[in-house]
Amino acid sequence: MSEALLTTRNLTMRFGGVTAVESVDFSLGRRELRCLIGPNGAGKSTFFKCLTGLLKPSAGQIYIDGEETTGWDPHRIASLGVGVKTQVPSVMDGLSVRENIWLAAGRVHGSRTAGRFVDDAIDRLGLGPIARTLVGQLAHGERQRVELGIVVAQQPWLILLDEPAAGLTGEEVGRMAQMITELSSDAAIIVVEHDMQFIRSIAATVTVFSQGRILMEDHVDAVMADARVRDVYLGRKG
């Protein structure tokens, strides 16, 4: 437990009569790369939103780097050094790519030195040619990259990515996987994803959610081979 960067204990989230996440005990090590999978409605996105502070859990606790963050507002959790990419790219359409990333870098590094980190993030994500374009004019794949640039520029030590490969072309998926592998050398990462091919390519440990609970936790190959996992994905009750 002492090595864990993020743990949840008995984490529960109810919406009226529906329990979306039920008593989840979860633990993520330092610099670990973890994928969360599960069929629609399994509770992984709700779990994710509890971690980022966008939802306040009904019960249970969340600890990030030894500090209890249960019920904290998103900005407080983010300012610990947590970078978040949401499911639908959450970017600022009316601003340029550069300004988007500058705002992220400015909060962490201060407005005087932010420029350096902005250039760095733009380089890493290959956003140079579109740096001055308004984000609202960009294609979906580019917006995904801009949002990742926002996360990278904050230099977080814990990164939460919700469906980073969604809607990307084959080539873009490959680049995203490479990017995530690179990032995982300095930060712990949780990826919520549907695309098994993508998960294979980043070769991660996988936590499978089903009906609000953790079904199993293992390496991606073992998970793929598991009969129960196939059952929940096909909607059979085992």
Which of 1, 75, 171, 235 lies at the binding interface for another protein (CB under 8 A)? Answer: 75
87 is a site residue for another protein (CB under 8 A): no
Least Å distance, CB 212 to another protein, is: 24
25 is a site residue for another protein (CB under 8 A): no
Closer CB to another protein, 56 or 219, in the complex: 56
Of the CA atoms within 13 Å of residue 103, those in its CB half-sphere come to 10
Which of 4, 59, 92, 196 lies at the binding interface for another protein (CB under 8 A)? Answer: 92
- Residue 136 φ/ψ, nearest 5 degrees: -60, -20
Least Å distance, CB 222 to another protein, is: 33
111 is a site residue for another protein (CB under 8 A): yes
Amino acid letter, residue 112: R
Helix (H) or strand (E) holding 142: helix 140-153
Helix (H) or strand (E) holding 14: strand 4-15
- Of 236, 180, 175, 194, the closest CA to residue 32 belongs to 180
Distance CA 68, CA 185 (A): 25
Least Å distance, CB 24 to another protein, is: 22
Residues engaged in binding another protein (CB under 8 A): 52, 54, 73-76, 78-79, 84, 86, 90-96, 99, 102-104, 106-108, 111, 132-134, 150, 154
